[in-house]
Amino acid sequence: MRRAILFVGMLGFFLPLWAQEIPLTSDSYTHWYPQWSPDGNWIVYRKDDATGDPQIYKVSSAGGTETALTSDSCYHDYPQWSPDGNWIVYQKWDATDYTQIYKVSSSGGTEIALTSNSHNHNYPQWSPDGNWIVYQKWDATVKIQIYKVSSSGGTEIALTSNSYDHWYPQWSPDGNWIVYSKWDTTGKTQIYKVSSAGGVETALTSDGYEYWYPQWSQDGNWIVYYRVDATGHTQIYKVPSGGGTEIALTSDGYEYWYPQWSQDGNWIVYSKWDATGYQIYKVSSSGGTEIALTSDSYWQWAPQWSQDGNWIVYQKMDATTYDQIYKVSSDAGIEEDIISNNQAGTISVYPNPTFGEVTIHLHSSMKRKIEVDVYDESGRFVYHNGPVQWSEGSHVLPLKNLQNGIYFLKVKFDGNTVGKEKLIILR
């Protein structure tokens, strides 16, 4: 039996590429804008399928057979899960000859129109409590305004109404605010927010650059976005949600797009046009060294974190020559400094292969809060232990309920990943 030593030293920890990119779809159609279900079991997306019109589809987050949720002669786009996972909201170009807001059960069934008039409605987003949908609407002002409607349908409520365009509305985690991009008197798009009940708009940025795609942190304290700055390129920035000084998280000669917060608020994932093309990267939400999660000759786009923070889903134009849905471990990468010198220590994992029990031996005089997660080859979560306080010595994990196969074991010290091990279970 092999004994694996996972060493955490003075210079940090080398993260192996233990989880390669995993395709979830592979056919001769284009797939767009993947979104995780709240329980992490499904991915919803738009697919340009054999109907000749984009439809809404879902697939298991482990891959498998795709399921069409819509299938008529209309254009469907930008699907979003409800917080309870029971519904999908999206925009649909229907018989009114305008894009309207619709929803459908996440199991499929009859589509339900939430709006129906002679204006275009785009980019719908659920409120955290699931009771409202916010979106942008080209209305009678002949400008794009921010609106909301009950998730059961009914009267639309304008949250803005002026002579400027507004884009990409996003709810705050507490549901009290909407953040968005607005073309204002600066002659550029800036980041604004407004109460979810409507009222006075508040500018969070105001200079001669363009700001796009604002996203709230999970604690509601920060807004991340991409903007053109003095580098002449789009970079990732953040600003306090109450306004204040902007902080650059990236700054080089490449282009950055569509940032997304991790659930714990510690990381930002995004698409970056680097020397190879569009790749998926992440950076600490405090800034620092960027970490490439993908690096090949294909384009990767529109990354989204899983709810447990372990995976990134995205679309990739691969060897099929169509955009497919892929996922990659959020811990993949080249090198990451995780544990500082005064936390250094080692752990041993054995036996490997195993018949069902695995021992983790902690070589440290310090007590540690330890978490252990186990995933199967498809990335499906199958076992969790912790967080618990461990002292120096051996600790046994009962894995006898797992089937024969290859698994991946991830160990965290005090919330930080310090080691991963490919684990083989034999019976």
Q: Same domain, yes or no, for 181 and 257?
A: yes
* Domain-embedded: residue 191: yes
Only one residue has tokens 């965290």, namely 412
Q: Same domain, yes or no, for 367 and 302?
A: no
* Domain-embedded: residue 17: no
Last residue of a domain, one of 267, 298, 329: 329
User: CA torsion angle for 336, 338, 341, 347 (degrees, to 10)?
Assistant: -110
Question: Model pTM?
Answer: 0.76
User: Residue 37 above 70 pLDDT?
Assistant: yes
Question: Phi and psi (nearest 5°) for 150?
Answer: -60, 145
Q: Same domain, yes or no, for 302 and 403?
A: no
Q: Same domain, yes or no, for 323 and 251?
A: yes
User: Residue 158 above 60 pLDDT?
Assistant: yes
Last residue of a domain, one of 294, 309, 329: 329
pLDDT tens digits for range 120-135: 999 999 999 999 999 9
* Domain-embedded: residue 16: no
Work out the pLDDT band at 33, boundaries 50, 70, 90: very high
Q: Same domain, yes or no, for 309 and 356?
A: no
Higher pLDDT, 384 or 198: 198
Give the Å distances, CA to CA, from 405 to 104, 123, 268.
38, 42, 33
Mean pLDDT value across the chain: 87
What secondary structure letter does DSSP report for 336?
A: B
| pLDDT score recorded for residue 332 | 61
Q: Same domain, yes or no, for 295 and 352?
A: no
Q: Same domain, yes or no, for 6 and 47?
A: no
User: Residue 266 above 80 pLDDT?
Assistant: yes
pLDDT tens digits for range 333-345: 433 322 222 233 4
Q: How far apart are CA 414 and CA 421, in angstroms?
A: 18
Mean pLDDT within 219-246? 96
Mean pLDDT within 236-241? 98
| pLDDT score recorded for residue 416 | 66
* Domain-embedded: residue 163: yes
Range of the domain at 354: 2-11+337-425
Q: Which residues neighbour 162 within 8 Å (Cβ) at sequence distance 6 or greater?
A: 141, 143, 145
Q: Same domain, yes or no, for 154 and 289?
A: yes
| pLDDT score recorded for residue 368 | 67
Q: Percent of the chain having pLDDT more than 90?
A: 68
- Total of domains in the chain: 2
Q: Same domain, yes or no, for 294 and 372?
A: no
What secondary structure letter does DSSP report for 342?
A: G
Mean pLDDT within 13-37? 78
| pLDDT score recorded for residue 392 | 67
Mean pLDDT within 167-178? 98
pLDDT tens digits for range 73-128: 999 999 999 999 999 999 999 999 999 999 999 999 999 999 999 999 999 999 99
| pLDDT score recorded for residue 65 | 96
Last residue of a domain, one of 274, 304, 329: 329
User: Residue 421 above 80 pLDDT?
Assistant: no
Mean pLDDT within 193-222? 96
| pLDDT score recorded for residue 419 | 64
Q: Same domain, yes or no, for 30 and 7?
A: no
Work out the pLDDT band at 417, boundaries 50, 70, 90: low
CATH code of residue 373: 2.60.40.3080
Q: Same domain, yes or no, for 211 and 357?
A: no
Q: Same domain, yes or no, for 411 and 305?
A: no
| pLDDT score recorded for residue 11 | 28
Nearest to 215 by CA among 261, 265, 249: 261
* Domain-embedded: residue 295: yes
| pLDDT score recorded for residue 107 | 97
Give the SS3 label for residue 274: strand
